[in-house]
Amino acid sequence: MSGPEKHSILIVDDDRSMREFLEILLTKEGYEVSLADCGEKGREMLDQQQFDLVITDIRMKDINGIEVLKKAKQISPDAMVVMISAFATADTAVEAMKEGAYDYIPKPFKVREFKRIVKETIKARKKSPAKEETDKGGYRYHFDYMIGESPQMTKVYDLIERVSQTKSNILIIGESGTGKELAARAIHRQSTRRDKPFVVINCGGIPENLIESELFGYKKGAFTGAATDKDGLFDVADGGTVFLDEIGELTPAIQVKLLRVIQERTFTAVGGTEEKRVDVRFISASNKDLEGEVIEKRFREDLYFRLNVIQISMPPLREREGDLPILSQYFLEKFSHELGKDVKKISAYAMEILSQYPFPGNVRELENIIERSVALETSSIVLPESLTLSHFEKYKGINSEERHNKADLPPEGIKLDEVMSGIEKDYIQKALETSHWSIQKTAELLGVTSDSLKYRMKKLNIKS
């Protein structure tokens, strides 16, 4: 019985140490690896054998990697070629993509990222069942309309499935842009109330003088301009679900009236005397620390406990390991279709930049970034130059050659670990000062978790 198919990879690089490193790395991953020590040898080997993937350096002493790429495409238009270079520039990236390269990776690269790209490229060569499912209108990594397969999101999916069939009120907490409304809609769609209304009430978006009449409705003559009776949002939602978005923005007076609706399931229209009974399920959401608001007497404790029967915490994007590439590709396909563009993927260099970004606006910010990138991109691949990231210039587009030029290496050499530790310590101390020594805010500024920040501070002997 034959074993699993081994995929063949040709590595073309005139740097012996790089060839040997990639050979060892990819052989351990189960690939059959062939080596060419120059561009001309690479082209000769392409004439002799077909490879599942070609990985070629761009700058070589005889002929460059673009010529190897052209040869591979001449032999087989479907050939998968990944370009690597220590001198990453937008011009060479665009040229490589125009000639049909699948991706472009700057040196030095992260081993984990490199292995991911190789795996992705091999998979893209043959259409997989998962890809076929995507073409049929589904998406590989999703729950309802939420996308992601990280352990953090899997826990959210499992919890939603368990609570959807209950009648309990639910509080969804999380930073802005994490998908709290998507979670609320998923709960409603999987509940017995799915065929009834799902009414969204933006507690911070309705003027204070109008919110009572919006929620409870009003009777004719209740105030100037009330020419007829009007049902409120609770009337509309009867039998369904009320989603109270940004519940922490409600005024104390409205909090009292909302508490009565939740407890008694009854309310009275503005200017009316008759009590109305309503059957709704309450799902609330907040990006505020409601427990802190209760302690500070800005939010009623009894209302908090009524709303917070079951709590769902939506993780920030920076803590959703592995979800960034999936979400990025989803938004890329979405906006390429909507904008009529032929942008097929995000370059490895651009994805590396995105992976370093803390995403203070979470998934909503990522969606906006990808939409702008697709709109601005002139090639078939998103390059770093197309990324428009707020307060993020420090993460962008310095190519490898520029990085080499900026680093002054004295003749006697340096102690790299000490230099890097000093840089890391400076950034942490600056971020601590900027955030007034808040561990959580400092971690957000640096794009790390609070536990990781605490570990680094202990290692570097930084006192909080």
What are 228's two structure tokens? Answer: 């007829």
Bridge partners of 311?
A: 171
CATH of domain 151-313: 3.40.50.300
CA 318 – CA 326 distance, rounded (Å):
13
Domains 151-313 and 411-459 share a fold: no
Evaluate if residue 399 carries a pLDDT over 70.
Answer: no
Could you read off the pLDDT of 24-61 as tens digits, one per residue? 999 999 999 999 999 999 999 998 888 999 999 988 88
Residue 266 vs residue 399, higher pLDDT? 266
Residue with the two structure tokens 């000093």: 422
The pLDDT assigned to 401 comes to 42
The pLDDT assigned to 408 comes to 53
* Phi, psi dihedrals of residue 214, rounded to the nearest 5°: -70, -40
| CA angle in degrees (0–180, nearest 5) for 302-304-306 | 70
Evaluate if residue 190 carries a pLDDT over 50.
Answer: yes
CA 313 – CA 163 distance, rounded (Å):
13
pTM over 0.85: no
Evaluate if residue 299 carries a pLDDT over 70.
Answer: yes
Evaluate if residue 87 carries a pLDDT over 80.
Answer: no
CA 219 – CA 35 distance, rounded (Å):
82
Evaluate if residue 402 carries a pLDDT over 70.
Answer: no
The pLDDT assigned to 34 comes to 94
Evaluate if residue 433 carries a pLDDT over 90.
Answer: no
3-state SS string over the chain?
CCCCCCCEEEEECCCHHHHHHHHHHHHHCCCEEEEECCHHHHHHHHHHCCCCEEEEECCCCCCCHHHHHHHHHHHCCCCCEEEEECCCCHHHHHHHHHCCCCEEEECCCCHHHHHHHHHHHHHHHCCCHHHHHHHCCCCCCEECCEECCCHHHHHHHHHHHHHCCCCCCEEEECCCCCCHHHHHHHHHHCCCCCCCCEEEEECCCCCHHHHHHHHHCECCCCCCCCCCCECCHHHHCCCCEEEEECHHHCCHHHHHHHHHHHHHCEEECECCCCEEECCCEEEEEECCCHHHHHHCCCCCHHHHHHHCCEEEECCCHHHCCCHHHHHHHHHHHHHHHHCCCCCCEECHHHHHHHHHCCCCCHHHHHHHHHHHHHHHCCCCEECHHHCCCCCCHHHCCCCHHHHHHHCCCCCCCCCHHHHHHHHHHHHHHHHHHHCCCCHHHHHHHHCCCHHHHHHHHHHCCCCC
Residue with the two structure tokens 């392409």: 46
Evaluate if residue 346 carries a pLDDT over 50.
Answer: yes
What residue segments make up the domains of the chain, in order of their start? 8-126, 151-313, 318-389+396-404, 411-459
**b/e per residue 47-67 (b: at least 16 CB within 10 A):** eeeebbbbbbbbebeebbbbb
What are 184's two structure tokens? Answer: 């609320």
Pick the CATH number of 411-459 from 1.10.10, 1.10.3470, 1.10.443, 1.10.760: 1.10.10
Could you read off the pLDDT of 383-392 as tens digits, one per residue? 877 787 754 4
Could you read off the pLDDT of 212-230 as tens digits, one per residue? 888 888 888 778 777 788 8
CATH of domain 318-389+396-404: 1.10.8.60
- Closest Cα to residue 232, out of 264, 259, 272? 272
What are 5's two structure tokens? Answer: 């198919």
Which stretches of 232-283 are DSSP H helices? 233-236, 252-264
- Closest Cα to residue 80, out of 62, 57, 103, 64? 103
CA 258 – CA 86 distance, rounded (Å):
62
Q: How confident is the model at residue 90 (pLDDT cuts 50, 70, 90)?
A: low
Quote the percentage of the chain above a pLDDT of 90: 36
What are 307's two structure tokens? Answer: 């709303």
- Does domain 8-126 fall under CATH 3.40.50.2300? My reply is yes
CA 21 – CA 34 distance, rounded (Å):
13
